[in-house]
Structure 1
Amino acid sequence: MFTLLSGLFKYLFRKDEFFILILGLDNAGKTTFLEQTKTQFNRNYKGLSLSKITTTVGLNIGKIDIGSVRLMFWDLGGQEELQSLWHKYYAESHGVIFVVDATDETRLEDSWRAFDEMIESEALVGVPILVLANKQDIQGCLKVDQIKSLFNQSAAKIGKRDCKIRGASALTGDGVNESIDWIVQCVERNVYRRPTNTGDTS
């Protein structure tokens, strides 16, 4: 009887687990976005001070639960020498959030090149991608349409996957909920890569 009840409990409370990569150049605001996401979706979470976050060297990990969905985030360093390690995580990922610093016009083309190289990987075929035009709270930043005009050069490589460019401010939280809602919808309906089921409700 206990085994039956235990199995029923695990079935009712199981979560579909999806792994989401957070990529982009250094200082784009990837870790700030991750911390803001954990703050908004994890009750009582008290993490890093957003104003004191420094450049990531290596990997930051985060987790949020939304209903029956669990998102596991891998926030990877964006320095040029670390970009060569991104591909090691592609095969296990279900979605990508590519963060662009909308205040740094001088490196916008570098950001697009990193994005363009990323989507060429066969390991990411069919994986939904959200391009986040970050730092929209700062006066004089590039707007979504300006960033879209450059990133649209990669349109032919995107294929049938879901892909969207939207604005946000990781620092203030504007656009974070909407971004996460979009990525959840995309990974849930994606037929190319199915979730990992877990009975862990913690």
Structure 2
Amino acid sequence: MWRPSLPDAATVWARWRGRSVILMGLDSSGKSTLLARLLTGKVVKTSPTIGFNVGTLNLDKKTSLTLWDVGGQKRMRPNWRLYLDNCKALVFVVDSSKPARMAEAKKALKMVLSDSKLEGVPLMVLANKKDLPNSLKIREVSTLLDLESYKDRQWEIQACSAVQGLGLQQAFLSVHKMIKKS
């Protein structure tokens, strides 16, 4: 079972003040698998996140992002607002193989983006699990989440597979570019 090591308070504070990127999404969308794949390069067994996982993604020798993976269970979502201070970008992960959960994802995304702490913060939507049969195309995910309605912020949507590692590096390079523009 993969669990990132818990950093000390000073390390957390230093990371928090930098380029903090919050990973949110419904339970079982693949946030922890995605974080583990980015940090270790491996597919690891994960369990539902209670609270958060954190790690630093080095994009190159000069650029890193601190990624905060926040639990997505329904009972955890009211606490999402507690993680938004100093957020430089929001990465919202959806399971593109579960169209039945898109309405719930749309509602959760709308709720978190309504927080004033995220005003002007860039949004990256990752349509995860593109490796699975019958996964939705990004245009379908975009429509179901009503992304076009978010005219007050930069946003992008990309397909990815945390298990296969497809699209992850490109997505976070795009996140970094959006942060620089904002």
What CA distance in whole angstroms lies between the structure 1 residues aligned with 2:44 and 2:85?
33
CA contact (8 A) 1:19 1:73 kept: yes
TM-score by length of 1: 0.77
* Cα shift readout 1:120-174 (whole Å, capped 9, x = no counterpart): 111101111100000000111111111111122x533x23421011100011000
CA contact (8 A) 1:19 1:71 kept: yes
What CA distance in whole angstroms lies between the structure 2 residues aligned with 1:17 and 1:92?
8
Residues 1-202 of structure 1: pairs in structure 2 closer than 5 A? 17-40=18-41, 50-65=43-58, 66-152=60-146, 154-156=147-149, 158-190=150-182
* Cα shift readout 1:97-122 (whole Å, capped 9, x = no counterpart): 10001111221110111001111111
Q: What is the identity percentage for the equivalent residue pairs of Structure 1 and Structure 2?
A: 28
**Structure 2: any 5+ residue segments left out of the alignment?**
1-16
Cα drift, residue 189 of structure 1: 2.2
- 2:127 is paired with a residue of what secondary structure? strand
Cα drift, residue 51 of structure 1: 4.7
TM-score by length of 2: 0.85
CA contact (8 A) 2:37 2:44 kept: no
Larger Rg: 1
What is the number of equivalent residue pairs in this alignment?
Answer: 165
Question: Is the deviation greater in 142-151 or in 171-180?
Answer: 142-151
Which ranges of 4 or more aligned residues in structure 1 deviate by more than 4 Å? none
What CA distance in whole angstroms lies between the structure 1 residues aligned with 2:57 and 2:170?
15
Higher helix share: 1
**Structure 1: any 5+ residue segments left out of the alignment?**
1-15, 41-48, 191-202
